[in-house]
Amino acid sequence: MSGHDTPIPMTSSKCGPLSGVAQVPGDKSISHRSLILGAMAVGETRITGLLEGEDVLDTAKAMRAFGAEVSQHGPGEWSVHGVGVGGFAEPENVIDCGNSGTGVRLIVGAMATQPITATFTGDASLNKRPMGRVTDPIALFGAQAHGRDGGKLPMTIVGAAEPVPVTYTVPMPSAQVKSAVLLAGLNAPGKTVVIEKEATRDHTERMLAGFGAELTVEDTNEGRKITLTGQPELTPQDIAVPRDPSSAAFPVCAAVIVPGSEITVPGVSLNPTRNGLYTTLIEMGADIAFENEREEGGEPVADLRVRASETKGVEVPPERAPSMIDEYPILSVVAALSTGTTVMRGVKELRVKECDRIDAMARGLEACGVTIEEDEDTLIVHGMGQGGVPGGATCKSHLDHRIAMSFMCLGMAAQNPVSVDDGAPIATSFPVFEPLMAALGANVTRDS
């Protein structure tokens, strides 16, 4: 099993105003998809701005194992020589996706309609996560899955030798499941239809169209209906990966909660399937200006100018959850430093992320002196106002990068330092978090 052998305990303590420019790394979702679609195209896809976090590097290794030639040419500059739709080779070894649910679920989808067998594993976090959500739909294409403990990794997938196209309604709001079905549909003859009741991030649809697949998207009574014509020849692309709005969330929220701060975060995606946090922060009274709105790498982006603000609690509409699903942990930190109560309903998907994020945030915030209410699908944070959180606790990160970074941001604005037992998972999505936050003026240190 993969994973970090040595935990990295970290502490964040109160700092002066944050200032400067935060150049956050490339988008994780788009980085995974660039490598996978590049591997399924015929010829060379060139990528700039690729996130070189552990999750994406594991996907790069996996694409090599399936026969693509994947090379790094400089920081963030990569090329993929693809093998074409249906051209994957059978890997010689187990595919280790590390901490990455996106990596494993998308790759399982991509190989499920090819006549090969592959075994997947991950770290202690990934091996606990539900995989039935992808093995159910790939079975309809004709693939077989043999997993541990009713559908967990390690798992062997026997790809369908003669796949059939499917029509599938995704039972939970999940871009990973939608994408796994679409990637499987690439090598099935005829039309594969995916229906999602709630719109989730749409990078796979946008990128499939960019690679030349025939794909239509319609809003219907049943939901958003995506129809893909199978067995296209995908044309290699030049991809400029935009910066990750989910990583930008950490310096943005840190600047909101640390009094006197003013920072700029350039090139943040305003893709409506990803920008729910920014809408919510503005409703809470955060001072965020969107400057130089433009298009980069096929995504609408803007430079965010963020000033520290006295924020107030809000009720986050449940239908906004898919567009900010990864941002609830850091939102709960802003909520703790706001006046009034913040109610987050419709968030049960948080329980099956890299860890149970409702439980991890609730326990850590409580340890820092914040009053929390929760049920299966809800997190409620009773705010203590700017500077009002006592802090002074060590919180567990549960192998979850976003939990570790959220508590490090809390430490910047709490009365006493906040520690995490293990900050190592931060490297999965935001390897430059520590130097980037230090350059803005934060005190985040590794404990010896």
Q: Pick the binder of ligand S3P from 202, 244, 326, 400 (CB under 6 A).
A: 326
Q: Which residues are catalytic?
A: 326
Q: Which candidate, 249, 210, 252, 217, places its Cα nearest to that of 232?
A: 210
Give the shortest CB-177-to-ligand S3P separation in angstroms.
Answer: 6
Residue 444 in contact with ligand S3P, rule: CB under 6 A: no
How far apart are the C-alpha atoms of 213 and 276, rounded to whole Å? Answer: 29
Site string for ligand S3P, 116-155 (x = CB under 6 A): ----------------------------------------
One symbol per residue from 386 to 405: x for binding ligand S3P (CB under 6 A), - otherwise; what is it?
--------------------
Helices (H), 270-400: 276-283, 328-336, 357-367
237 binding ligand S3P? (CB under 6 A): no
| 353 marked as part of a ligand binding site | yes
Name residues whose C-beta falls within 8 Å of residue 193's C-beta, 6 or more positions apart in sequence: 165, 166, 167, 168, 225, 226, 227, 228
326 annotated to bind ligand: yes
Residue 373's Cβ-side half-sphere holds a number of Cα atoms within 13 Å equal to 8
Contacts of 72 (CB under 8 A, 6+ apart): 78
Among 175, 126, 179, smallest CA distance to 148 is for 126
Q: Choose one: 90-98, 169-177, 212-220, 273-281; the region binding ligand S3P (CB under 6 A).
A: 169-177
* 28 vs 383, beta carbon nearer ligand S3P: 28
Picking from 432, 424, 422, the residue whose alpha carbon sits closest to that of residue 9 is 422
74 is in an annotated binding site: no
Distances (CA, A) of 291 to 300, 301, 310: 12, 9, 22
Q: How far is the CB of 354 from ligand S3P (least distance, A)?
A: 8
Q: State which of residues 254, 325, 408, 442 lies at the interface with ligand S3P (CB under 6 A).
A: 325
Q: Is 174 annotated as a binding residue?
A: yes
357 is in an annotated binding site: yes
Residue 101, annotated as binding a ligand = yes
CB of 179 to ligand S3P, least distance (A): 6
Give the other-Cβ count within 10 Å of 50's Cβ.
26
Number of residues interacting with ligand S3P: please give it, by CB under 6 A. Answer: 10
Helix (H) or strand (E) holding 176: helix 175-185
Ligand-binding site membership of 238 (annotated) = no
The amino acid that residue 311 corresponds to is T
How far is 387 from 309, CA to CA, in rounded Å? 12
Amino acid, single-letter form, for residue 194: V
Residue 174 binding ligand S3P, by CB under 6 A: yes
Q: What does DSSP say about strands 394-395 and 418-420: parallel, antiparallel, or unpaired?
A: parallel
* Residue 243 near ligand S3P by CB under 6 A: no
Question: Do 191 and 229 form a contact (C-beta atoms < 8 A)?
Answer: yes
Q: Which of 34, 179, 275, 428 binds ligand S3P (CB under 6 A)?
A: 179
* 100 in contact with ligand S3P (CB under 6 A): no
Interface residues with ligand S3P (CB under 6 A)?
29, 102, 174-176, 179, 201, 325-326, 349
Q: Which residue numbers belong to the known binding site for phosphoenolpyruvate? A: 28, 101, 129, 176, 357, 402
User: Residues annotated as binding site?
Assistant: 28-29, 33, 101, 129, 174, 176, 326, 353, 357, 402
